[in-house]
Amino acid sequence: MKTSRRKFIENSLKATALTMSSPLILTTIASPVNNIANTNVIPSLLALQFSQAPLPYDYKALEPSIDEKTMDIHYNKHHATYIKNVNEAIAAEKIAFTTEKEFFANASKLSPKAKNNGGGAWNHNFFWQVMSAASSSKAPGGKLGDAINGSFGSLEKFKEQFTQAAMTRFGSGWAWLVNDNGKLKIGSSANQDNPMMDSSDLKGTPLLGLDVWEHAYYLKYQNKRNEYVANWCNEVNWDEVTKRLV
């Protein structure tokens, strides 16, 4: 019994000594900055992940322009699915881009799943922000007002051109107001493309975007996209749009 006990203690001490003298495997995970070259964990830690921004108002806040049920389905079903799908694509395809800007600048190199769902994720986060029933201004003022007047002649002429872009986008897509190196431009994009994508014909920094997919308006307006666009213009958060003009 004494011999067995002595061997047990000796073996325990050897095991403890070996453990203390060997580097812990978890070290590279706990301290990734110092072990970037030695672990495969880093790409998954640093790779871009899209997240769904909280809706900045209640589902019924934009009524009667946009009804509560449409907002609920649009946000919790459509937008949430884009977020889920793009993050799945990033993981499965080992996409290593770390910023949204970099992601979209390389859109032409992405798979359809990554590109389309990445666009849908970002576009909707943007869309919720540029609307607000509580906006302090129902018309653009200051530098944005001056820029719109200088580029389009007046707010009414801007609305006419923006409405035309929304109405002439065949099928699903978006209408945009962008800042292209100091020049304001209006255009549209198909599906979930946006002007930040290298594959987009319209280039620039988005200032305002309108979703003209049928799921954005069909429950209330059916095929009357013109009524949806006209009423949506009443919900634009011009204060938010102005912040994006830099």
pLDDT tens digit sequence for 23-40: 322 222 232 333 323 333
Q: Is the pLDDT of residue 64 over 70?
A: yes
- The beta-strand segments (E) located in the chain are 173-180, 183-190, 205-211
Mapped onto helix, strand or coil, the DSSP state of residue 184 is strand
Domains observed in the chain: 2-42 (no CATH), 62-246 (3.55.40.20)
Query: What's residue 47's pLDDT?
Result: 78
DSSP secondary structure, 13-71, as one string: HHHHHHHHHSPPTTHHHHSGGGGGGG-SSHHHHHS-----PPPSS-TTTTTTTS-HHHH
In the chain, pLDDT over 70 holds for what percent of residues? 80
Cα–Cα distance list, 234 to 63, 70, 120, 197 (Å): 11, 17, 23, 28
C-alpha torsion sign, points 205, 65, 213, 83: positive
- Please report the pLDDT score of residue 30 as a whole number: 30
Between CA 179 and CA 98 the distance in angstroms is 24
DSSP-derived 3-state class of residue 221: helix
State both tokens at 129. Answer: 């922000």
pLDDT at 134: 73
pLDDT tens digits for range 135-187: 556 788 899 999 999 999 999 999 999 999 999 999 999 999 999 999 999 99
92-140 pLDDT, tens digit per residue, is 999 999 999 999 999 999 999 999 999 999 999 999 999 997 755 678 8
Span 187-215, average pLDDT: 97
Report helix angle 142-152 to 155-167, nearest 10.
70
> Amino acid letter at 153?
G
2 HSE (CA, 13 A, CB side): 0
Among 193, 189, 232, 207, smallest CA distance to 70 is for 232
Q: How far is Cα of residue 178 from the mean position of the Cα atoms in its chain?
A: 16
Model pTM? 0.80
Joined together, the tokens standing for residue 149 give 């007047």
User: Whole-angstrom Cα distance, residue 172 to residue 213?
Assistant: 5
pLDDT at 246: 79
pLDDT for position 17: 41
- Of the candidates 131, 100, 135, the one whose C-alpha atom is nearest the C-alpha of residue 118 is 100
| Main-chain dihedrals φ then ψ at residue 173, nearest 5 degrees | 165, -160
Write out the two tokens for 183: 């020049």
What mean pLDDT is reported for the chain? Answer: 85
